[in-house]
């Protein structure tokens, strides 16, 4: 494998150190090999290394291997990683249980090195091909930003994470104020160019890897800010508004403005991501009704509405 090529990560989960050593030797040219001997260690290693493929030992005397498989498939970070289960004398009932737990393939022990390497290479290639296709399916063709589908998937994931950590989650709904006017006066090519410039400006403004800016539809963007409190969300919104104001893109060089509705919450039992979206939408409508080019924010679950800075 070329040195400058990104190597796949292979996680081996087996109680036997001898088996781990043997498999590591077999796969030393196939990628970066990590290993674990217990369930909790396997889960922790998976979180840290984000494997492209998992080799999981199957103990016919217990269901531990199947349980590890189920737990890996239940976690967001390992849900899509292909799992190959290994065992001696795999029978139909074992294969059925493994498939139900989420495995994609099985290898009988003793393992033959060329067969193992071929199976591993095949499933990693299929995994990467699926990733490419999925990435194409989640990108908006006009703005080159993640689309609504990706945003909704990420919102669900971040909602669960914030609920577990009892942490803030903030959401900004952003409307490009002059879009319809520019489309009507100068055509949709000019309006799309405006969207592209606004998209680039906002993507450059959100610097944290955990932040997400997506394009929804009809000149509306959405930003998802994990672990950001109301003050941080409001500050981010004002920075986005300032960046948009620096764009002069229509044929008559009119200044560009955006209206933003911010909502922040700490997810509680019985609440839903839709409530956060609705709260941000209400704030966006308030910003539009009050004259546009402003930020309106709310902390969900409280009666206090943040009074954002008004445009000069």
Whether residue 176 contacts residue 202, with contact meaning beta carbons closer than 8 Å, is answered with no
Residue 308, pLDDT above cutoff 70: no
Is the CA virtual torsion 47, 120, 58, 91 positive or negative? positive
Q: Residue range 118-143: average pLDDT?
A: 85
Alpha helices in the chain (DSSP H): 17-26, 39-49, 64-74, 92-101, 113-137, 148-165, 179-186, 188-205, 230-245, 273-289
- pLDDT tens digits for 210-229? 999 999 998 999 999 999 99
pTM of the model: 0.59
* pLDDT band at residue 305 using 50, 70 and 90 as cut-offs: very low
Q: For residue range 53-99, what is the model confidence (pLDDT) as tens digits? A: 999 998 755 788 888 899 888 887 788 899 999 988 788 888 888 89
- Provide the pLDDT for residue 312: 44
**146: DSSP letter:** B
Does pLDDT of 135 surpass 80?
Answer: no
The C-alpha atoms of residue 100 and residue 82 are separated, in whole angstroms, by: 13
Residue 306 in this model has a pLDDT that exceeds 60:
no
Per the CB < 8 A criterion, the answer to whether 168 and 229 are in contact is yes
What distance in Å separates the CA atoms of residue 14 and residue 44, rounded to the nearest whole number? 15
- Compute φ and ψ for 192, nearest 5 degrees: -70, -35
293 and 257 Cβ atoms separated by less than 8 Å? yes
Q: How confident is the model at residue 24 (pLDDT cuts 50, 70, 90)?
A: very high
Return all residues near 163 (Cβ < 8 A) that are at least 6 apart: 267, 268
Query: 263, 279 in Cβ contact below 8 A?
Result: yes
Whole-angstrom CA distances from 59 to 14, 39, 127, 148 are: 9, 13, 26, 42
126-134: long-range pairs with CB below 8 Å, 24+: 126/82, 127/52, 127/53, 127/80, 127/81, 127/82, 128/8, 128/52, 130/80, 131/80
pLDDT at 304: 36
Sign of the torsion angle spanned by Cα atoms 72, 74, 78, 82: positive
Q: Which domains does the chain have, with CATH numbers?
A: 9-137 (3.40.50.2300), 148-306 (3.30.70.270)
CA distance 218 to 175: 9
Q: What is the mean pLDDT of residues 272-279?
A: 94
Token digits of residue 104:
């994609």
**Backbone phi and psi for residue 307, each to the nearest 5 degrees, phi listed first:** -95, 105
d(CA 215, CA 143): 7
pLDDT tens-place string over residues 146-199: 999 899 989 999 999 999 999 999 999 999 987 888 888 878 788 888 889 999
pLDDT given at position 151: 95
């Amino acid at each position: 494998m070329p040195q400058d090529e990104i190597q796949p990560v292979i996680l081996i989960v087996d109680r036997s150190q001898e088996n781990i050593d043997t498999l590591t030797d077999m796969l030393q040219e196939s990628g970066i090999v990590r290993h674990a001997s217990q369930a909790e260690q396997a889960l922790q290693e998976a979180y840290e290394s984000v494997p492209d493929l998992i080799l999981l030992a199957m103990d016919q005397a217990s269901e531990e291997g199947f349980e590890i498989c189920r737990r890996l498939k239940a976690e967001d970070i390992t849900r899509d990683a292909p799992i190959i289960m290994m065992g001696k004398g795999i029978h139909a009932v074992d294969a059925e249980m493994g498939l139900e737990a989420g495995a994609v393939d099985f290898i009988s022990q003793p393992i033959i090195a060329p067969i193992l390497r071929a199976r591993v290479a095949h499933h990693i290639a299929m995994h990467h091909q699926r990733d490419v296709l999925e990435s194409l399916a989640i990108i908006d063709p006009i703005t080159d930003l993640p689309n609504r589908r990706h945003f909704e998937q990420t919102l669900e994931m971040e909602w669960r994470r914030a609920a577990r950590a009892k942490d803030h989650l903030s959401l900004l709904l952003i409307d490009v104020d002059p879009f319809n006017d520019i489309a009507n006066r100068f055509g949709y090519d000019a309006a799309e160019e405006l969207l592209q410039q606004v998209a680039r400006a906002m993507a450059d403004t959100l610097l944290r890897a955990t932040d997400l800016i997506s394009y929804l539809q009809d000149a509306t963007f959405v930003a998802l800010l994990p672990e950001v409190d109301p003050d941080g969300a409001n500050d981010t919104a004002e920075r986005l508004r300032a960046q948009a104001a620096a764009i002069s893109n229509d044929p008559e060089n009119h200044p560009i403005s955006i209206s933003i509705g911010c909502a922040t919450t700490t997810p509680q039992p019985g609440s839903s991501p839709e409530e956060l979206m609705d709260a941000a939408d209400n704030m966006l409508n308030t910003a539009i009704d009050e004259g546009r080019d402003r930020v309106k924010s709310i902390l969900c679950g409280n009666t206090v509405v943040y009074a954002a800075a008004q445009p000069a």
